[in-house]
Amino acid sequence: MTERDAILVLNAGSSSIKAAVFDGALAPLLRGAVTGIGGAAGQVSVPSGSQKAHLPDHATALRALLAGLGDDGLNLGALRGVGHRVVHGGADLTRPHLITRTVRDQIAACIPLAPLHNPHHLAAIDAVTTLAPELPQCASFDTGFHATNPEVALRYALPDRAETRGLRRYGFHGISYAAMVGDWEAHTAAPLPPRLLACHLGNGASLCAIRDGQSVGSTMGYSPLDGLTMGTRTGAIDGNAVLHLARVMGIDDAEHLLNHESGLLGLSGLSADMRALEEDGSDAAQFAIDHFCYWAVRHAGSMIAAMGGLDAVAFTGGIGENAPNVRARIMDGLGWLGLRAEEAANEAGRTQLHQDGSDIGAWIVPAQEERRIATEALKVLGTA
């Protein structure tokens, strides 16, 4: 691969790294992933095949992934740069940045705000620096899109003291929402609605109130735990209930319960996967689905109020794009606003889901987070 404007996009999680390479025109060239980092069942998957590997840490995993992609034509020396997804940029990193020592330190300073995410992003950044120290790297932040929220939407009703600094609503899935706004007309062949309820529904799930292309509200808050029922996260829960769990279980066990054992998994006792729950059909599985849909509609009311009305709703993410039953129930819950869904279009997963003449539009917009990161990296590098 000799494309000089190619961008490598990396999304590092706790036990995996996903990679995608885009050319200068943002066409995808290569994809790959490593999973099972730190465990006994590591695996490297690239277009030419998959193989097991010992992956004790992120640096080892990234080297293995790049070697695998290298066999399929990736040449680090031919890249324009690398774009990283970073979950948390705090209050200061609200736009894409070239990663300098100062920016790296700012990302590190946000670790207390995202202890399950930012350390892994930094591990990938540092690994690339070791492998290719001259290769420019950029960061796109999931929190950045929500910096346009008014202060009254961001601040918790806490006194301004040293111990409360940094405790505010940040919002997440911002790269997904920015991609939706940026690609809207090209994908839907319709103008961007003035008041758009964006639904990023997957293992992590949130809603965003987008007015005139800018976020004015999000269901996620200080962390990705808040808001909707999710795959393994509780969604919104009373602070005193959290304190109770911390007292009786200990902080670490309570944190694990809230983030990894709750949501669809906790309610059903079966799975965090919406497809598995729909196939199971048990009462517990059905209740978990009911809970997910009920709270999506209920939180939608809050987002609609933040926008002062609604012109359209859009679905993205694994559940949003692939679960017609969930979409149908959410659209039905918004029917009082004049949303008239087209059942056949919804079942077929078409782009337009609403009937002609519906007061409210409804759409499916595929998630394009990696492409958005590549877009932002090219812009940053073009002006660096």
Structural domain boundaries of the chain?
Answer: 6-141, 192-364
Domains 6-141 and 192-364 equal at CATH topology level: yes
User: CA-CA distance, 360 to 354, in Å (whole number)?
Assistant: 8
The dihedral through the CA atoms of 325, 326, 329, 332 has a sign that is negative
Q: Out of 3.30.420.40, 3.30.70.20, 3.90.550.10, 3.40.50.300, select the CATH number for domain 6-141.
A: 3.30.420.40
**Which CATH number applies to 192-364: 3.90.226.10, 3.90.1260.10, 3.30.420.40, 3.30.428.10?**
3.30.420.40
* Helix locations, the chain, DSSP H: 58-71, 101-109, 118-131, 151-154, 174-188, 239-249, 251-260, 263-268, 274-280, 283-307, 317-322, 324-333, 343-348, 369-383
Characterize the bridge pairing of strands 195-201 and 312-316. Answer: parallel
Residue 23: which residues within 8 A CB-CB, separation 6 or more? 3, 5, 6, 29
pTM, rounded to two decimals:
0.94
Which residues are the active-site residues?
142
Q: Write down the mean pLDDT value for the chain.
A: 95
List pLDDT tens digits, range 39-93.
878 999 999 999 999 999 888 999 999 999 999 999 888 899 999 999 999 999 9
Q: What is the pLDDT of residue 13?
A: 86
Mind listing the pLDDT tens digit for each residue in 331-351?
A: 999 999 999 999 999 999 999
Lowest-pLDDT range of 8-17, 133-142, 312-321: 8-17
Gap between the Cα atoms of 23 and 127, Å rounded: 22
Is residue 379 within 8 Å of 182, Cβ to Cβ? no
Q: What does the pLDDT average to over 264-281?
A: 96
Write the CA distances from 277 to 141, 264, 281, 290, integer angstroms.
Answer: 32, 9, 7, 11
The answer to whether 32 and 24 are in contact (CB under 8 A) is no
Query: pLDDT category, 15, cuts 50, 70, 90?
Result: confident
Query: Is 80 exceeded by the pLDDT of residue 384?
Result: no
Answer positive or negative: Cα dihedral of 306, 307, 313, 316.
Answer: negative
* Cα distance between residue 107 and residue 114, in whole Å: 10
